[in-house]
Amino acid sequence: MPPVSLDTLDTPCLVLERGRLQRNLARVAATVAARGVRLRPHLKTAKSIDVARLAAPDPATPVAVSTLLEAEYFFAHGYRDVFYAVGLGPGKLPRVAKLLRAGARLLTCLDDAGTAAKLAAFAAAEGVAFRVLIEVDCGEHRAGVAPDGPELPEIARALGRNFAGVTTHGGQSYDGRSAAEMNAFGEVEAGAARLAAGRLAAAGFPCEVVSVGSSPTAMTTNALAGITEVRAGVYMFGDLFQAGIGTCALDDIAVSVLTEVISRPAGRDAFLIDAGAFALSKDLATASLPPAQQAGYGWLCDLDGRLLRGLKVARVWQEHGRVVSDRPLAPDAFPVGTRLRVLPNHICPTAAAHATYNVVEHSRAVLATWPRINGW
Amino acid sequence: MPPVSLDTLDTPCLVLERGRLQRNLARVAATVAARGVRLRPHLKTAKSIDVARLAAPDPATPVAVSTLLEAEYFFAHGYRDVFYAVGLGPGKLPRVAKLLRAGARLLTCLDDAGTAAKLAAFAAAEGVAFRVLIEVDCGEHRAGVAPDGPELPEIARALGRNFAGVTTHGGQSYDGRSAAEMNAFGEVEAGAARLAAGRLAAAGFPCEVVSVGSSPTAMTTNALAGITEVRAGVYMFGDLFQAGIGTCALDDIAVSVLTEVISRPAGRDAFLIDAGAFALSKDLATASLPPAQQAGYGWLCDLDGRLLRGLKVARVWQEHGRVVSDRPLAPDAFPVGTRLRVLPNHICPTAAAHATYNVVEHSRAVLATWPRINGW
């Protein structure tokens, strides 16, 4: 049997360049370490124990997740300090309690006094200690209470002994387009967390955890006094949007979608590939960038990862993607059967459609297949 | 242990109303039967053996699929006549051959003479007979050769004994907004297939299969002389886009996403649910409909499926959805923990994020959990 390679893999599928992943991990780890705080790698993008082992080789490292399924999976693989960083609804209390009882140091977050009271009553009735962060809004206006508002001490009181600190996410940093803007967003993010933690401490609720982070603000160099940890996830792989806002370079993008040309209509500067809405996702993140960085549903590379400038996936159907060229295509270019790789707009939803990563390094040989954990 | 119900299921997850599914199946089966052709249910939306058993109770029924993984799965469950209705690239020949050797009557399609020649050589070398349809473009301009163009007999000749007929898909019918327009698209679709089949027969290549279809054109009542089968898939479940173009009613929509309110910021006519871009998909199909039918990322229902007019998911992040109201919300409306259901814009990508359907009928009790097969 011939060795598995990008020439023979079933398409569509994910290709992960291990060297790029390791470089991305090292760069952000060094940046965050230099700021004197710990990095809590967010595993919502990777969702893979094999990636986690590179991002956080010591299982005592704190990690973040976006679903309780991820929390259960990484805990089962030895990671005890796991932050489920999405607001906790009361329907999830039993599942969280089960993890806590099993020995996980699971952190959760919420922004609602009613839920905090329910949680405290549930924890007391079940004899389980929760570890809950109050979510603070630092300007994204997604979730969270105002760092200077009246809800903050009220929620801490309702949580009682289950209170563990504060968390915020400067998601508005995705609107940043320069290092100076990212720094400013990072200051706002850390400032909100610091203000909230200070008010809580003054009210008798010292914070064990003061957690901030997003991939753009994690890579800034602001001072982080009073902050205990920085979360980031998408930096592991990068994508065209992250490259567009300057948080990675194009050749840092570590995951792409392997695809095959399946239709090459005569007389058109376009062709179809077998990677469509499902294999790439319908995310159009780069549509908000300047025209030269707008990638449709993705830019194309050849099988060895070299960017094919001027080609992009302009339209997708469930299992078809239409690649268009900004210049005339030679009639014999990209015949049916040609293998290509698509750089994703936004790697989180793209990766979520796939069950595995095919790992390569410096060649087309597949060195390993790493599973992912999707769903809830 | 209490019976599983929508009140206690882990969120987010899919809810399937079996009665609606059965009604949708019966309606389209009767419509197509009345036209004197057979229906080939397309299982790309459902991807579930349990749904297949309702849509095609006799495993001798021909079915269509969108991935080879689906083909393998449904064949393993007894369905032999399976049409993989996405253009076949040469990289998939070995996997198709394996299914054919195992006894599947697998139909495939392509639109390229070079691929046809490769396929014929491969089939001869492997001693396997393929069954290949030539894909014809009836105006969508996605894939396919012109029904009146020179490629048609050329591809049939290249296929040789592997030739089985023609297929077309009037995907432009999704632009239709009235029964009259759908009928017109259906006429064009059938006309293109008929023209292609007639030309091939005249060239010495009689078509065993002349396959047409899309959910909108499948529900028209045009005569279908010369057509052997109609394919449709999304009709099984329906969605807000299909309701918007009139191919189903709102209360025909059979699958929704169960979710929980996780954040209810004070003073805003909005709240957050735990169904975001992953649980709902980023599909914005209804954005092309008139304003009153634009649903953002989905409309909301209460736990019993009653539409909550004026609420929609206006923005999504990976695991958060922001629901906005078009009128002021009472401060105590939709507190954290409230359970709701989201009607999807486009059920195909929404369902693809989930591993199972939770089946209900006339109550909140979950009668069964049906698995889905995602990926490739």
Under the banding of pLDDT at 50, 70 and 90, the label for residue B1 is low
| Token digits of residue A203 | 């009210």
Enclosing H/E stretch for B370 = strand B368-371
Quote the minimal CA–CA distance from A267 to chain B in Å.
11
Q: Residue A349's closest chain B neighbor by CA?
A: B278
How would residue B223 be classed by pLDDT, with cut points 50, 70 and 90? confident
* Residue in the block written with tokens 């998911």: B313
pLDDT digits over B19-71, tens only? Answer: 999 999 999 999 999 999 999 999 999 999 999 999 999 999 999 999 999 99
Per-residue pLDDT band for A215 (boundaries 50, 70, 90) equals confident
CB-CB neighbors (< 8 A) of A260 in chain B:
89-92
Nearest CA in chain A to B143: A263
Residues of A in contact with B337 (CB under 8 A): 89-91, 114-115, 118
From the list B334, B142, B279, B361, the residue with the least C-alpha distance to A270 is B142
Q: Find the CB nearest A274 among B86, B137, B322.
A: B86
Q: Does the distance separating the beta carbons of B282 and A10 come in below 8 Å?
A: no
Q: What is the ipTM of this complex?
A: 0.97
Q: Letter for the amino acid at B99?
A: L
User: Predicted confidence band at A34 (pLDDT cuts at 50, 70, 90)?
Assistant: very high
pLDDT band at A2 (very low <50, low <70, confident <90, very high): low
Instruction: Flag if B264 and A112 touch (Cβ within 8 Å).
Output: yes
Do A90 and B320 lie within an 8 Å CB cutoff?
no
Of B278, B283, B322, the CB nearest to A352: B278
Alpha helices (runs of H) in chain B, residue ranges in sequence order: 18-34, 49-55, 68-76, 93-101, 113-126, 151-159, 179-202, 215-218, 240-244, 277-280, 347-352
Task: Report pLDDT for B2.
Answer: 58
CA distance B313 to B301: 11
Mapping DSSP onto H, E and C, the string for chain A reads CCCCECCCCCCCEEEEEHHHHHHHHHHHHHHHHHCCCEEEEECCCCCCHHHHHHHCCCCCCCEEECCHHHHHHHHHCCCCCEEECCCCCHHHHHHHHHHHHCCCCCEEEECCHHHHHHHHHHHHHHCCCCEEEEEECCCCCCCCECCCCCHHHHHHHHHHHHEEEEEECCHHHHHCCCHHHHHHHHHHHHHHHHHHHHHHHHCCCCCCEEEECCHHHHCCCCCCCCCCEEEECHHHCCCHHHHHCCCCCHHHCCEEEEEEEEECCCCCCEEEECCCHHHHCCCCHHHHCCHHHCCECCEEECCCCCEEEEEEEEEECCCCEEEEECCCCCCCCCCCCCEEEEECCCHHHHHHCCCEEEEECCCCECCEEEECCCCC
pLDDT of B273 > 90? The answer is yes
Which chain A residues are closer than 8 Å to B349 by Cβ?
A: 277-278, 282, 318
Chain A residue whose CA is closest to B136: A265
Average pLDDT along chain A:
96
What pLDDT, on a 0 to 100 scale, did the predictor assign at position B118? Answer: 98
- Please report the pLDDT score of residue A267 as a whole number: 83
Chain A interface disruption, residue of B262, B288, B316, B373, most A CBs within 10 A: B262
Q: Which two tokens stand for residue B249?
A: 């009613």
Strand, coil or helix: what is B134?
Answer: strand
- Average pLDDT estimate for A16-37: 96
Closest alpha carbon within chain A to B88: A262
Residue A144: the pLDDT is 97
Confidence of residue B221 (pLDDT cuts 50, 70, 90): confident
Cβ atoms < 10 Å from Cβ of A76: 12
Average pLDDT, chain B: 96
Phi, psi for residue A116 in degrees, rounded to 5 = -60, -40
Considering only residues B221 and B195, tell me which one the structure prediction assigns the higher pLDDT. B195
- Are A112 and B336 within 8 A, CB to CB? yes
**pLDDT band of B222, cuts 50, 70, 90:** confident
Q: Closest to B355 (Cβ–Cβ): which among A91, A318, A375?
A: A375
pLDDT at A1 over 80: no
Instruction: Read off the pLDDT of residues A85-110 as tens digits, 9 standing for 90 and up.
Output: 999 999 999 999 999 999 999 999 99
Residue of A nearest to B350 (CA): A278
- Across A265-286, average pLDDT: 95
Q: Give pLDDT tens digits for B284-309.
A: 999 999 999 999 999 999 999 999 99
Q: Which of B91, B283, B317 sits opposite A337 (nearest CB)?
A: B91
Confidence band for A266, pLDDT divided at 50, 70 and 90:
confident
SS3 B66: coil
What's the whole-number mean pLDDT along residues B140-169?
A: 97
pLDDT digits (tens, 9 = 90+) for B91-138: 999 999 999 999 999 999 999 999 999 999 999 999 999 999 999 999
Nearest-Cα residue of chain A relative to residue B317? A142
pTM across the whole model? 0.97
Q: How distant is the Cα of B282 from the closest Cα of chain A, in angstroms? A: 6
Instruction: Determine which of B257, B318, B350 to mutate to test the interface with A (most A C-beta atoms within 10 Å).
Output: B318
For chain B, percent of residues with pLDDT exceeding 90: 93
